[in-house]
Amino acid sequence: MESSKVIHALYNDDEVLLDAVKAVKEEHHHIEEVFCPFPVHGLDKAMGIAPTRLAITAFMYGITGLSIAIWMTNYMMIQDWPQDIGGKPSFSWIENMPAFVPILFELTVFFAAHLMVITFYMRSRIWPFKEAENPDPRTTDDHFLMEIPVKESAVEELTTLLTKTGAVEINVVDKH
Write out pLDDT tens, residues 85-114. Answer: 777 777 888 888 888 999 999 999 999 999
The pLDDT tens digits for 14-31 are: 999 999 999 999 999 999
Q: Are residue 84 and residue 69 in the same domain, yes or no?
A: yes
Return the sign of the alpha-carbon dihedral for residues 131, 143, 25, 165.
Answer: negative
Residue 102 has phi, psi (to 5 degrees) of -60, -40
Mean pLDDT rounded to a whole number for the chain: 90
Query: Is residue 156 one of the residues assigned to a domain?
Result: yes
Instruction: Judge if 65 and 99 occupy the same domain.
Output: yes
Whether 129 is covered by a domain: the verdict is no
Confidence (pTM): 0.70
Quick one: 109 and 58 in the same domain? Answer: yes
Per the structure, the count of domains in the chain is 2
Mark whether 36 and 67 lie in a shared domain.
no
Residues 40 and 67 in one domain: no
Q: Are residues 72 and 42 part of one domain?
A: no
| Inter-residue contact 134 to 35 (CB < 8 Å) | yes
Residue 57 · residue 116 · CB < 8 Å: yes
118 within a domain of the structure (yes/no):
yes
Burial 5-16 (b: 16+ CB within 10 A, else e): bbbbbbbeebee
Indicate whether 130 belongs to any domain.
Answer: no
Q: How far is CA 166 from CA 9, 17, 161, in A?
A: 9, 8, 9
Per the structure, the complete domain to which residue 96 belongs is given by: 54-124
Q: Is residue 159 part of a domain?
A: yes
